[in-house]
Every structure is written in C-alpha cells, then in structure tokens.
C-alpha cells in the first residue's frame, strides 16, 4: 500500500515520531519511579533524623556509660577500700599521714644544711599533700554513691537503649551521629523531580497529539489510495482469466480515531488492513488468505508485482509454473505481465506455454536424459533457430512446418531475441 501510494517517507517519519514518543514514555516512567523511590527515601531519612535527635546522643557516650556502669557495679567494694584508706592512712593513731608529717618535722631542721635532705623534705611534704587530696577524693566518691543510688538503673537503661540503636543502624555511636548529619544534608538538598516530570509529560502529550495527526493523515492517504489500488488489482486479475473477480481493501474500523493512545499505534501507523477477494459472481468476498486457491493467489501476486514493479527495489523474481490452468489469450496476457515486470527486475519463469516462453529475453531448455544407470537433468541455452524449434514443439508437440511458422510469428510478435 505504501509503495503504491508513495507513502514510504511519511511512514518512516511517523515511525521516528512513534519511537520518540515511546522513548519519552519510558523516560517518564523511570523518572516517576525514581522520584517515588527518592520520596520514600526522604521519608525514611526524616524518621531516622527524628529518632537520632530524640536520643540526644553524645560523642563516645556508650564508652563513657560503660565505664560508669563498671564503677557503679563495684561501688560497694570501692567504698570499702576508700574507707580503709581513710582509716589506715589518715584517721587512726600512727597513721601513714601522721608518720609522714612526723618525719617531716624531724628533718625540716636539717634541710638548710644539705641539699638531699631538703629535697627529701620537699617530696615528703608533697606526699602528705597528695595523700590528703587522695583522701578527699575518696570521701567524695562515698558522698557521690550515697547521693545517686538510682544511677545504676538509669545507666543500665540508657546503655541498653543505645545498644539497641547501634544494632538497628549497624554503627557505633559516633558513626550514628555522623550518619545523622549526612542525611540532614541529603534531606536539605533533596530536589523533587516534579518540574522535570511535568515538563516531560507536557512535551510527551504534545508529541502524542502530533503523532495522532500524523497517523490520521497517513491513514487518510492510504484509504484514498486503497480504492484506486484495489481497482487496478481487480482489473489485472480479470485479465488473468478470473473474469468475475472482485477485490477490496478493508481497513479496521474498530479504532476510535478521536481518542488515540500509544497502544493504538504501531511503528508504521494505526492501520490494520486486509485484502478481501471473491473469484466467482454472486459469492460474498472473504479474506484473500481464506478464499483464494493456490492458482488465484499466484495470479494475485503477479498482478501486485506488475503494478508495483517500478516501485520495488530491484530483485530476482521466480515464477514457477504460474501458467497452470491457463491458455489462449490469457496465456499471452500472463506473458505480457511477466515481461512488464522484467523491465525492472531479473525474472526467471518456468513455463510449459509457448505464449509465455516467447516473451523471454533468454530461453533455456531444461530436460532429463538417461546415462547408463542414472538420470541426469541438463539445461541448455537456446539460440535463435533452436529456440524457434522449441517454441514449435511447445505449441504442437512436433516441429511441423505450420508449428515452426507459428512459432516464428509469436516470437516476432513479442520482439524477443530477434537480433540473436
């Protein structure tokens, strides 16, 4: 149809537009899916940021709490030790603190006389001061533990909660804090694809409307050309001894031409066409593939090739005994059809009819012969005289004078190989 109506360029242009719209639809789908995924991701980030902030985590908090927990778990032992230190080193008679101060008192009178004694006195004074400070620290520990008896429970609960959070995120405390900062930045920099999606959707809709117009225009031209094409085919088929042939090209009318979507199109347009044919008068036309015999199909294809001969890309066309059931004037018309096609294509025609063979630019005789214990198929090119004899044989089965004369006439009539 498109070759007949010279619509191949328009069809190709439509195909490019069709692929463009399909690509736009694919890109639009990907963008929408990506945005949906991104929005879902951002919602997760919001939840995680809130969760991390609600925990009010501090850097290295889990390590600090673990140390505190260890201390609180051994608080009783530490208090006992601190009390013993205070008692033995400071409060009892002849305590360590008293002994150090006593020796300082004895040596202080000699420190001006000897440098080593002075240094020893100084170190002992430092030791007494450090011991007194250590005792104060031990007393503070006792006070702290006494004032925070519920602290152990608080630390355990806080540490358990942090450990659960670490398991959930598969990170340590510092990594969780860093992750929280990172997803805050990602959330702040999140850019919706809405504008891009909207722009592409509008462009795709505009291009789809343009595609609809292209398809409708192409379909209208096809339908207009189809009437003339069908008429030509019918006339040619009638000339090939199917006198009562009727032929029609039908277009699918189920498509709503005013509300077309991409699903309604193919790469070559929106048309679905079928050839309808009837070989006999009074018989309703049916799809060609269901109603035509093999011989009728062959003649139909011959008519198509003849009409489109100059429009088709040059090729080799083989007609294998297409003349079955044909004779007389129809055979001559058939030969003329094939001859017309040979103006544009290389034609090889296998025939038993002289009327058709006479149209050939070259004549080859294919025959069988017996050689000892086998049969051989041979082929010979026939020059002018031999060709005339073969045409005569095809006419009457022999090379009579009348047959040879008639053979010469039809060869001359067709104007073939006369200069051989």
Average pLDDT over residues 134-140: 84
Per-residue model confidence (pLDDT) at position 292: 86
Structural domain that includes position 400: 309-420
- Domain for residue 50, yes or no? no
Query: What pLDDT is recorded for position 146?
Result: 56
Note the Cα 172 to chain centre separation in Å: 41
Say how far apart CA 103 and CA 118 lie, in whole Å.
12
Confidence at residue 322, expressed as pLDDT on a 0 to 100 scale: 77
* Residue pointed to by tokens 């398991």: 167
Say if residue 417's pLDDT is above 70. no
Q: Is the pLDDT of residue 295 over 80?
A: no
pLDDT at 255: 59
Q: What is the mean pLDDT of residues 287-302?
A: 84
What is the structure's pLDDT at 415?
A: 61
Residue 372 forms part of a structural domain: yes
Q: Judge whether 269 lies within some domain.
A: no
Q: State the CB neighbour count (10 A cutoff) for residue 49.
A: 16
- Residue 277 CA to residue 280 CA, distance in Å, equals 9
Last residue of a domain, one of 152, 171, 189: 189
Q: Check residue 91 and give its pLDDT.
A: 80
Give start and end residues of each alpha helix (H) in 149-254. Answer: 151-169, 173-189, 194-239
Which residue reads 């050309």 in tokens? 225
- Whether 131 is in a domain gets the answer yes
325 has a pLDDT exceeding 90: no
Res 283 pLDDT > 70: yes
Alpha-carbon Rg for the chain, nearest whole angstrom, is 54
Out of 138-147, 287-296, 314-323, 350-359, the most confident range is 350-359
pLDDT over 90 at 51, yes or no: yes
**SS3 (DSSP) at 395:** helix
Burial 240-271 (b: 16+ CB within 10 A, else e): bbbeebbbbbeeeeebeeeebeeeebeebbbb
C-alpha distances (whole Å) from 267 to each of 1, 101, 205 are: 15, 107, 18
> Cα dihedral sign for 69, 73, 75, 78?
negative
Q: Which secondary-structure segment (H or E) carries 380?
A: strand 374-381
Report the distance separating Cα 83 and Cα 57, nearest Å: 36
| 240 within some domain | no
What CATH number is given to the structural domain containing 324? 3.40.50.300
Please write the tens of the pLDDT for every residue from 226-251: 999 999 999 988 888 788 899 999 99
Q: How confident is the model at residue 341 (pLDDT cuts 50, 70, 90)?
A: confident
> Is the per-residue pLDDT at 181 higher than 90?
yes
Helix-strand-coil split of the chain, %, nearest 5: 65, 10, 25
Q: CA-CA distances (angstroms) from residue 272 to 103, 219, 280?
A: 119, 10, 26
Please give the structure tokens belonging to residue 200.
Answer: 């592409």
Q: Report if residue 345 sits inside a domain.
A: yes
Determine, yes or no, domain membership for 398: yes
Least confident of 56-70, 107-121, 177-191, 317-331: 317-331
Band of residue 258 on the pLDDT scale cut at 50, 70, 90: low
The count of domains in the chain is 2
Residue 11: inside a domain: no
Q: Which of 156, 189, 222 is the last residue of a domain?
A: 189
pLDDT in the model for residue 328: 74
Q: How confident is the model at residue 419 (pLDDT cuts 50, 70, 90)?
A: very low
Question: How confident is the model over 27-55, as a mean pLDDT?
Answer: 91
Instruction: Check whether 6 has a pLDDT greater than 60.
Output: yes
End-of-domain residue from the set 142, 163, 189: 189
What the block records as the tokens of 224 is 């207009």
Distance CA 27, CA 201 (A): 10
Helix (H) or strand (E) holding 24: helix 8-55
pLDDT band at 420 (very low <50, low <70, confident <90, very high): very low
Percent of the chain with pLDDT over 90: 37
């Amino acid at each position: 149809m498109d070759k007949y109506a010279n619509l191949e360029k328009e069809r190709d242009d439509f195909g490019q537009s069709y692929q463009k719209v399909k690509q736009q639809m694919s890109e639009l789908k990907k963008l929408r899916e990506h945005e949906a995924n991104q929005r879902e991701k951002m919602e997760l980030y919001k939840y995680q940021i809130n969760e991390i902030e609600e925990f009010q985590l501090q850097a290295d908090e889990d390590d600090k709490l673990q140390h505190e927990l260890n201390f609180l778990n051994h608080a009783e032992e530490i208090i006992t030790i601190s009390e013993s230190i205070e008692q033995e080193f400071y409060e009892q008679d002849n305590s360590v603190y008293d002994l150090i101060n006593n020796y300082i008192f004895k040596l202080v009178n000699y420190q001006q006389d000897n440098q080593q004694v002075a240094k020893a006195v100084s170190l002992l004074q430092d030791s007494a001061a450090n011991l007194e400070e250590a005792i104060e620290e031990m007393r503070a520990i006792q006070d702290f533990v006494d004032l925070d008896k519920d602290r152990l429970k608080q630390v355990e609960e806080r540490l358990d909660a942090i450990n659960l959070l670490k398991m959930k995120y598969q990170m340590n405390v510092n990594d969780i804090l860093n992750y929280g900062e990172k997803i805050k930045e990602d959330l702040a920099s999140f850019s919706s694809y809405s504008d891009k999606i909207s722009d592409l959707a509008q462009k795709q809709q505009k291009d789809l409307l343009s595609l609809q117009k292209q398809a409708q225009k192409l379909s209208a031209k096809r339908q207009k050309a189809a009437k003339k094409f069908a008429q030509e085919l019918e006339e040619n088929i009638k000339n090939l001894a199917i006198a009562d042939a009727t032929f029609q090209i039908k277009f699918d009318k189920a498509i709503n031409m005013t509300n077309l979507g991409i699903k309604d199109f193919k790469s070559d347009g929106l048309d679905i066409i079928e050839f309808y044919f009837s070989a006999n008068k009074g018989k309703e036309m049916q799809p060609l593939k269901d109603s035509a015999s093999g011989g009728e199909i062959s003649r139909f294809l011959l008519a198509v090739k003849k009409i489109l001969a100059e429009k088709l890309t040059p090729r080799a066309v083989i007609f294998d005994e297409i003349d079955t059931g044909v004779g007389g004037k129809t055979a001559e018309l058939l030969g003329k059809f094939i001859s017309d096609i040979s103006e544009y294509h290389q034609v090889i025609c296998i025939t038993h009819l002289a009327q058709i063979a006479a149209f050939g630019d070259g004549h080859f005789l294919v025959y069988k012969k017996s050689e000892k214990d086998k049969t051989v198929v041979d082929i010979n090119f026939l020059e002018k005289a031999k060709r005339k004899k073969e045409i005569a044989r095809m006419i009457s089965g022999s090379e009579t004078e009348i047959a040879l004369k008639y053979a010469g006439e039809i060869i001359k009539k067709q104007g073939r190989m006369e200069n051989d």
